[in-house]
Structures are given as C-alpha cells and as structure tokens.
Amino acid sequence: MSAILGKITSETTKATKEIEDLSSPLVASAVKKRAINNFAEFLLTNATALKQNASAARSNVRTFFESQVALLEMATAAGRQEDYLKEKEEILQALNAFVAIAIDVHTTVLDYRKTLEVIPRMTTRFNQARRELIDALEQSLMLFGESEANSKDLIARIERSSEDTINDEQ
C-alpha cells in the first residue's frame, strides 16, 4: 500500500506542475482537460489497486490476529501458556511497534484524505477519480484502525495470560 501511495504522491506532484504550466490563457482548454483527465485515469487505476490491496491486507491481518488468539487459547487450554509466553516480550515489542506504525500511517493517510477533500472540482472524470481515491483511502483507514484495535486486544490478552500464569504458579 505504501508503494501505491508513494506512486500517487509522486505523480500528483508531476501532474500539479504540468497543470499549472498549462494554466496559461494561451493554452487551449482541450489540452488542459486532456492533462487533467489523464491524471484522473492514473488516480482511478491506483485507487482500484489501493482498494484491492487494502482488502487483501485486511483479510491477512484478520487471519494473523485470529491465529494468534487461537494459539494463545490452545496453549492455555492445554496448560502450556508458559510455552507460548516464553517469547512474550518479543511478541509484545513487535505488537507495540506495529501499533505505533499503524497510528503513524493512519494519521498520514487521514491527512492525505483531508487534502484530497479540499481539492477543487475540475472535470467530471477528475471528480470521479478523486471520490474513488477518497473511498480507497477510507478503506485503508478502516484497515489501520482495525489493525490497531486487534493489536491492542492481543496485547491485553497476552498480558492477562501472563498474569494468570504468574497467579497459577503462586
């Protein structure tokens, strides 16, 4: 997803310069419109790719967290929590790092979406592309929000299991 967002950012910078260069009254409006619509096609293509990427990532992230919870529950049921929790600190560090990254990316994507929302209307095609990209960003934001919530839930479960193990040993 970050590669797609990077590509969109880079192309937006180029397209903005090109459209600004074409803003002269000496340039035919058909030329301006063609440049804007070409950029719109790029945005539509990448919005679709971003949506597909977010959907696949959402499924993968959900599977990861479900499997981690299932492993913890199986270890607890088998009385082998300590086996699962031996690497507790490493797991917690990784999850906390993941939460920090998810929060940062969430903030960046949210700011990007806000920027897109204030871009003025240009052509019908561009307006459609902008809406599609905003929708794709919204789906990405949902992924980041869910990932953050799932990480925090898993962290809490691991910490509770660790406390239960300590209480059982006493």
Domain coordinates in residue numbering, the chain: 2-169
pLDDT at 68 over 60: yes
Q: What is the pLDDT of residues 78-109, one digit of tens each?
A: 777 676 667 677 778 888 888 888 888 888 88
pTM: 0.78
Please, what is the average pLDDT of the chain?
85
Opening angle at CA 116, ends 103 and 47, nearest 5:
80
Q: Name the residue with higher pLDDT: 75 or 132.
A: 132
Binned at pLDDT 50, 70 and 90, residue 7 comes out as very high
Please state the rounded mean pLDDT for residues 159-168: 66
**Residue 166 in this model has a pLDDT that exceeds 70:** no
